[in-house]
Chains A and B, each alone.
Chain A
Amino acid sequence: MNPLELLNLLKERFGDEKILEARVEDRRLFFKVPYESAHEIASLLREKGFDMPITMGGTDFPKKKVIEIFYSIWSSIHDFVVTMKFDISRDEPKYKTFIDIWPGVHNFERETWELLGVEIEGHPRLKLLLLPEDWSFEEEGYPLRKDFDPSRYKRPWGDEE
């Protein structure tokens, strides 16, 4: 299977209106889905042999008031990467975990939870991974969001005060 065939298969199965912004490149397939059908499509991808999660994360869009989550999955059979994206609301960032479909996203989801402030329902261990143990989300916020101000962590250089 190549990326184009997979795209056609997905469009055939779920209809054009579910598979948005699709882009086929060499060994890559990017597409966007509505969140409601994300798990269904993920299960189909897993069935079709997309078994190894290679990266996962989110992008904050304050103007559009959404956080875009992406999952990139490599297939050990077809040898290409498919990136599935979906939007969740920025005011109430919350979605259901994909850990039952791809166990390897465990730590990536944990990281997304702490750095982007996305509540991931059903994740077994939402515990601080990269941030310090005394990090306070209320006071300091979520580092990868666009409204996070890194200048408060700036240390003076040399003789600067």
Chain B
Amino acid sequence: MSHDMQRYLTDPFQEITELGEGLFRLNIGPQLPISGQGRFLVVTDGELVYDIEVDIGYSHRGIEKILEYKNYIQGVVPLERMVMLDTSNILMGFVRAVEDLYGVEPPPRAKYIRTIINELNRISSHLYALGLFAESAGWNPAVFIWTTADREPILDLLEMITGARWSHSFFIPGGVRADLPNGIKERILDTMDYIEKRLEVYEDAWIYNETFRLRTEGVGVLPRDKAIEWGAAGPSLRASGVAYDTRKNEPYSAYPELDFKIVTHTAGDSYARGWVRFEEMKVSIDLIRQAIENIPEGRVKKTLPPRPVKQEALARAETGRGEINFYIYTEGRDKPYRVKISPASFRNFFVIEQLPKIQEIKLADVPPLLYSFDPWFLDADR
């Protein structure tokens, strides 16, 4: 046994050691209640936080490398393991990139089906994120359990359409695997009514709750210019006043034909980020209603041509956590030569690391600050 290992066995937890001038380095994670599958090294003097270092990579599976060994259809399955909550949105970026490479446009009905599934997934992802956000602000897990319970009808819908509650592998390059089942329209509309009713409850009980606002307003303010410069993604970017949403700016699927607005907030604090997510759920409900009303008839998939028409493609899609983009380089085989995935959480972690440098953050603010970005470690680790 090496000397280093010996020390580790006798002293697995660092006792009170100081960095000088009375500072501690707190090791939050990877097994602590709120840390997720990552670790945060927080330098603090007890309450004031001077530095946050995010240590990711605890679940690095090398998905980029795996994709080099799989063809485009097989690649769908390992790719979905990035974010189990939000699988179809993650997949959307990959599918768009491959369609771009092969020069294929999916049939219109497939586009609408994709939109419906994407938005259902976005609602379920946002519900989960907001539940965790509430819990991170020191709430008893009531809200988290409510939101988790309210995801169930959505997951049931997804199960009806795709056959799986999550990780549905439903999108393939060139369309979707199957058509919508009979009677799904009424079911979707009913569920949307239910979710809308529940959102009103959340608004009263939680979004406008005084203590919750006290805890999250003015915490971790991300100014507009910094948000752009550091590369924040998704609701975090929109909460800082940048009206950017891939669904609107780079329209894909049925989004150009549907009517919706980008939700933005100017405050840029943790509360604003949560609020943007909350309002986006309402937008998603509206989008699903529009899509299910206007869905055209026709085929739902096309076969890919044997050879790609391009060598490289960069495709972007909006996931629940923000933009994901796929850079794919191919040499003409049925497998990609290189896939570079840049997920939203990976970019947001850098923003989190930078935040203590521009403002004062207290130790108790760290969990709500983190969860206002809705970090997902599996997403960042790939």
User: Does chain A touch chain B in the assembled complex, meaning CB atoms less than 8 Å apart?
Assistant: yes
Residues in A lying within 8 Å of B, measured CB to CB? 27-28, 30, 51-57, 59-60, 70, 72, 76, 79, 81, 83, 102-108, 115, 128-132, 143-144, 148, 150
B residues 304-329 near A (Cβ < 8 Å) are 312, 314, 316, 323, 325, 327, 329
A107 and B350 contact, Cβ closer than 8 Å, known pairs A130-B381, A144-B65: yes
B255 contacts the other chain (CB 8 A): no
For A57, give its contact among B57, B323, B340 (CB under 8 Å).
Answer: B340
Chain B's nearest CB lies how many Å from the CB of A74?
8
* B78–chain A nearest beta-carbon distance, Å: 13
Flag if A143 contacts B62 (CB, 8 Å): yes
The answer to whether A130 touches B60 (Cβ under 8 A) is yes
* Total B residues in contact with A, Cβ cutoff 8 Å: 33
- Consensus secondary structure, chain A interface: mixed
Instruction: Tell me if B314 and A83 are in contact (CB < 8 A).
Output: yes
Render B124-147 as a binary contact track against A, CB cut-off 8 A, 1 for contact: 000000000000000000000000
Alpha-carbon distance A105/B354, docked complex (angstroms)? 13
Residues of B within 8 A of A27 (CB): 250
In the complex, what's the smallest C-beta–C-beta distance from B79 to chain A, in angstroms? 16
Known contacts A55-B325, A83-B314, A130-B382; A103/B57 CB under 8 A: no
A105–B62 Cα distance when bound, in Å, is: 20
- B303 contacts A by Cβ under 8 Å: no
Whole-angstrom distance between the Cβ of B63 and the nearest chain A Cβ: 11
Would you list 23 pairs from A and B whose C-beta atoms are within 8 A, ordered by A residue?
A: A30-B312, A52-B229, A55-B340, A57-B327, A59-B337, A72-B325, A72-B327, A76-B244, A79-B244, A81-B314, A81-B316, A83-B314, A102-B229, A104-B229, A107-B347, A107-B349, A107-B350, A108-B342, A128-B57, A129-B57, A130-B57, A143-B65, A144-B64
Least CB distance, B96 to chain A, in whole angstroms: 12
Q: Which chain B residues (65-80) contact chain A, with CB distance < 8 Å? A: 65, 69
Smallest beta-carbon distance B4→chain A, Å: 11
Q: State whether B314 touches A72 (Cβ < 8 A).
A: yes
CB of B338 closer than 8 Å to a CB of A: yes
* Residues of chain A within 8 A of B382, CB atoms compared: 130
- The 8 Å CB contact of B231, one of A52, A57, A59, is A52
Measured CB to CB, the nearest residue on chain B to A28 is B314
Chain A residues, CB < 8 A from B228: 51-52, 76
Question: What residues on A are CB-neighbors of B346 within 8 Å?
Answer: 107
A153 to chain B, nearest CB (A): 8
B153–chain A nearest beta-carbon distance, Å: 34
Partner of A103, one of B62, B65, B229, B381: B229
Minimum Cβ distance to chain A for residue B20 (Å): 20
In the complex, chain A residues whose CB is within 8 Å of the CB of B340 = 55, 57, 70
Q: Which residue of B lies closest to A46 (CB)?
A: B229
Centre residue among A60, A128, A144 by max chain B CB count within 10 A? A144
Q: Is B230 an interface residue (CB 8 A)?
A: yes
Q: Is B160 an interface residue (CB 8 A)?
A: no
The interface residues of chain A lying within 8 Å CB-to-CB of B230 are 103-104
Q: How far is the CB of A120 from chain B (nearest CB, A)?
A: 15
- Residue B199 at the A interface, CB < 8 A? no
